[in-house]
Every structure is written in structure tokens, then in C-alpha cells.
Amino acid sequence: MAKTDNLKYFGITKPVLSHEEAQKNGSLGGKKSGEKKREMKKFKEYLEIALQRVVKDREGNEHTYKEVGAIKLAEKYVQGDLKAQELVLKLSGEMPSDKTEITGANGVPFVAPVLNILPVKPKDD
């Protein structure tokens, strides 16, 4: 169960923020998010460069690190490693989807009914 003793509830244990404070905090959050996105982009670029490096095998054939990684993954797949099998299925697009799509009759998109509740005056007895 999650701990809740360190949570601060706005308007109860913490004062409600003014519009300016909320705007400033939102701006800071957006800037941090942008920083993290740039970091991840840079990391992906470096990783792609590293995976393009070339190594030679015992026979003198050249392979990229990406190719070597794929071969090692395939070897673990064949040996019965469940994590490797799951990863191979996901990367190859053969993993069954985790999403369930709900449709109406004949494959038409399902539309939830709308209920209109009208106030009724009580009857005078």
C-alpha cells in the first residue's frame, strides 16, 4: 500500500496557489521536461553511434555491435530464455497486443448511451 503521510493537499494542509505561482510552477515543470527530452535524444544518438561500431569475429568477418547483439539475443531465444523470447516477439511485431478494442454490432465503434436526468417536482399529496 502506498504511503500517504507525506502528501500535501492543496487547500487543506497546504495553501492554494495563486494564478501566478501555479503558472510559474507549470513553466518550471515544462522546462525540466524539455531538458529530459533533450538528454534522452542525445543518449539515443550516442547509443546509435556506439551500435554502429565494427568488430571482427574469429573468422575475420566484420559485424556491427547491433548485429552482434541481435545474434546473442537469438542464441538466448533458442536456449529458452523467456525474457529473450518476449523481447524478440516484441521487436519482431509478433507479440499479441495488450490492448482490447471494444466495438459495437458489426464492428462499428461502441458509443456509450447518454442518459438525460431531469429534475422532477415532488407531487403534493
In a domain, 105, yes or no: no
Whether 44 and 23 share a structural domain? yes
pTM, full prediction: 0.51
Whether 65 and 85 share a structural domain? yes
In a domain, 120, yes or no: no
In a domain, 113, yes or no: no
Mean of per-residue pLDDT scores for the chain = 86
Per residue in 37-70, pLDDT tens? 999 999 999 999 999 999 999 999 999 999 999 9
Q: Give the residue numbers spanning the domain of 24.
A: 17-51
Task: Inform me whether the pLDDT recorded for 23 exceeds 80.
Answer: yes
Measured distance CA(49)–CA(100) in Å, rounded: 37
Q: Return the H-helix or E-strand segment holding 69.
A: helix 65-79
In a domain, 46, yes or no: yes
